[in-house]
Structure 1
Amino acid sequence: MSLPSPHQTEQPSGSALGLAESAQLFKACGDEIRLQVLRLLQQDTFGVLELSALLGIKQSAMSHHLKVLSTAGLVESQREGNTIFYRRPLLVPSDAGVEESVLGRVFDLVDELSISDEVRHNLIQIRTQRAEQSQAFFARHADDMQLLQERVAEYGLYAEPVLRLIDQLRDTDWQHAIEVGPGEGHFLVELAQRFEQVTAVDNSAAMLEKARQHCEQAAAAAIDFRHLDTTEAKASGLEADLIVMNMVLHHVASPQCVIEDCSAMLKPGGCLIVCDLNHHDQRWTRDACGDLWLGFEAAELRKWAEASGLEVGECLYIGVRNGFQVQVHEFRRPALAGTNRLSMQNHNSAPYTVVSSS
């Protein structure tokens, strides 16, 4: 083994962080509170007040911890209305550089940490508060929800492209479809024409009743209406070949958890269709439409899906006249080994399509 000359200086490697960056990163990780924050941000985004409540510390102290984590590149902020939420940076494996690779290894280690029972209890409370906020809005506005929704994106502009995607993907032996958050039930009628069994899942009793009435008036085939959230639906043993969420995620308390729940309910080879808003800055939708989130980045949705064991499929972008853009994603649960799904053979269209209503 040859040893380097004492006069020879070691050149910095292109696959490692510099000393200053490394020191900053390890210093940020050298605190129990900051490690707990990173662990909590694995599945959700939180504001400083929520994180303070979760970990039982003062807001000023939490703000300091978040500043340290942000400086080290371990968290990033995103404004939602008047609130700033914090999340872990989106790491895309295909184009990850040195810093992203190191962060990915740090997050892998952090995710092995356990969450205490007390923090889990606080987490349930915060998510319950978010859900109750959304449910209260829908209870107040069940009769005029369609008009409110059309201020953002008219139903027909996204329903037709989503139906075309479903028709393209649908396998001949698919029998059961679930729609999460069916609104007034218009899309349920379309699903009932394509599937032997259709289930509507909604945590708003008022909206579920509106959907039931519409489906009865449309003489739709038998539809099972379940007053459940997705976690309860998963626990009940529901399984489906197709799950659809049209303009739902920006209303739910924890979008990533909902995607995880849906993934667990998909049969092998089944598809999850997510139709929602691209991230925007039109804050009036929070009060006017009950939105908890101002849309999502496409990379964010793909990351959540992949973390839930789903494969990324087709993606459509739909331009609407009032300044919003709608994105439609197909995520697939891997088929069992040895099966030959028709839907895997039908992916002939371009993976990224822009549909404009103008």
Structure 2
Amino acid sequence: MRAELEIFRALADPTRLRIVALLRAMELSVGELAQVLGQSQPRVSRHVKILVDAGLAVRRKEGSWVFLGLGDPGRVQPLLKAIDGWSDADQDHWMRADLARLEAVRADRQAAAEAYFAAHAEQWDAIRSLHVAESDVEEAMHRALEPEEIGRLVDIGTGTGRILELFSGRADRATGIDRSPEMLRLARAKLSEANLEDTEIRQGDMYSLELPSADSDTVVLHQVLHYAQQPAAAIAEASRLLDADGRLLIVDFAAHEREDLRSQAAHARLGFSDQQIARWFEAAEIEGGLFEQLEGGELTVKLWLGRRKASRRLKVVAA
């Protein structure tokens, strides 16, 4: 009974209900919540503490930043269903206004990342090589994918097209997707120089790809996920593309504390733990986990390999 009382007391405030609605959309810092809600950070922090104490929200520290997300699904999901059944979103002007301001937060984050991409597109491959040697990473990727046919390949966040260079010769079809026009311009130039004109390059958003479902055999996210504001959503979208028994390969950094990469290199996430990837794989109905770990540079690079389950019902999981 005590837990139920804490939950309903926590929700018995309009601001806290608004916070729950915002955290359903994406993880946010206290400062970003204050920006969206139009309230002071100390006041928002007090509301957040009540939600955390009730188990309706959780804090996750990354370097000097703290992100907030929804609490345990077993506790939160029944409440969200009840709220959805009771509320009338069309009549809730607070919700509409909050979601509009949330888009501004997303836009600010995306603008910072895109400005970095535009300024560093020519040096992108060199920046990657500052960490674990890219040649070692590429050899590990071959080890992960070589036992089977590549089939229909999609490289999400293709950047300068390096993954397409590596694997398009073994693929029945190869498509590279990137949001940055500067990256795509470089990718097209590199692929043309390598006589890979048949490889398709498209501009697109990793969260909403204009590609058919279940029409790909291999999907790659190579050093992309740490730029994602919503990694779970990016993995779910990658999973949507996979045909029966298709494979998803994620190459990214292990969790680290290099805070400067957030401020100087537009990294939204300071790497990932195996537990995080496993949770997002499970939500996206992907079976698999850590394939290989590469150390030796300033950062550790990991390869996570998963396979689409035969029968899937994708779940929504906080990023």
Coarse TM-score class (shorter-chain normalised): 0.7 to 0.9
Q: Secondary structure at the match of 1:332?
A: strand
Which residue in the other structure is 1:270 paired with? 246
1:38 to 14, 17, 20: 20
By how many angstroms is 1:334 displaced? Answer: 2.0
Contact 1:148/1:288, CA 8 A, preserved across alignment: no
Which residue in the other structure is 1:184 paired with? 160
| Residues in 1 aligned to 2:47 and 2:222: alpha-carbon distance in whole angstroms | 37
Which residue in the other structure is 1:61 paired with? 43
| Aligned counterparts, 1:1-358, within 5 A | 23-42=5-24, 44-88=26-70, 103-112=72-81, 113-114=83-84, 116-168=95-147, 170-171=148-149, 175-220=151-196, 222-234=198-210, 236-237=211-212, 239-308=215-284, 310-335=285-310
1:240-298 CA-to-partner distances (Å, cap 9, x unmatched) read 22110011011123222211221222223222211111111111212343212111222
Query: More displaced, 318-327 or 25-34?
Result: 25-34
Q: Could you say which structure has the higher helix fraction?
A: 2
With over 3 angstroms needed to count, the CA separation of the structure-2 counterparts of 1:83 and 1:265, relative to structure 1, is: same
Compute the RMSD of aligned alpha carbons.
Answer: 2.6
| Residues in 2 aligned to 1:128 and 1:218: alpha-carbon distance in whole angstroms | 35
Query: More displaced, 242-251 or 180-189?
Result: 180-189
- Unaligned segments of structure 2, at least 5 residues: 90-94, 313-319
1:155-187 CA-to-partner distances (Å, cap 9, x unmatched) read 22222212211123x35xx63110011232221
| Residues in 2 aligned to 1:107 and 1:317: alpha-carbon distance in whole angstroms | 34
Contact 1:38/1:110, CA 8 A, preserved across alignment: no
Contact 2:226/2:252, CA 8 A, preserved across alignment: yes
Contact 2:7/2:54, CA 8 A, preserved across alignment: yes
With over 3 angstroms needed to count, the CA separation of the structure-2 counterparts of 1:237 and 1:121, relative to structure 1, is: farther
By how many angstroms is 1:29 displaced? Answer: 4.0
| Residues in 2 aligned to 1:55 and 1:268: alpha-carbon distance in whole angstroms | 43
With over 3 angstroms needed to count, the CA separation of the structure-2 counterparts of 1:241 and 1:56, relative to structure 1, is: farther
1:310-351 CA-to-partner distances (Å, cap 9, x unmatched) read 2221422423223422222223222369xxxxxxxxxxxxxx
By how many angstroms is 1:192 displaced? Answer: 0.6
Q: Secondary structure at the match of 1:282?
A: coil
One-letter amino acid of the structure 1 residue matched with residue 134 of structure 2:
Y
With over 3 angstroms needed to count, the CA separation of the structure-2 counterparts of 1:209 and 1:66, relative to structure 1, is: same
TM-score of the two chains, using structure 2 as the length reference:
0.83
Contact 2:288/2:304, CA 8 A, preserved across alignment: yes
One-letter amino acid of the structure 1 residue matched with residue 9 of structure 2:
K
Query: More displaced, 215-224 or 274-283?
Result: 215-224
With over 3 angstroms needed to count, the CA separation of the structure-2 counterparts of 1:32 and 1:130, relative to structure 1, is: same
| Residues in 1 aligned to 2:208 and 2:142: alpha-carbon distance in whole angstroms | 27
Which residue in the other structure is 1:98 paired with? none
Q: Secondary structure at the match of 2:272?
A: coil
TM-score of the two chains, using structure 1 as the length reference:
0.75
| Residues in 2 aligned to 1:44 and 1:153: alpha-carbon distance in whole angstroms | 30
1:206-242 CA-to-partner distances (Å, cap 9, x unmatched) read 11222222222222361111011124424x5363221
| Residues in 2 aligned to 1:54 and 1:268: alpha-carbon distance in whole angstroms | 41
Q: How many residues align?
A: 301
| Residues in 2 aligned to 1:153 and 1:65: alpha-carbon distance in whole angstroms | 42
One-letter amino acid of the structure 1 residue matched with residue 130 of structure 2:
R
Which residue in the other structure is 1:12 paired with? none
| Residues in 1 aligned to 2:144 and 2:138: alpha-carbon distance in whole angstroms | 10
By how many angstroms is 1:193 displaced? Answer: 1.4
Contact 2:278/2:289, CA 8 A, preserved across alignment: no
Q: Secondary structure at the match of 1:41?
A: helix
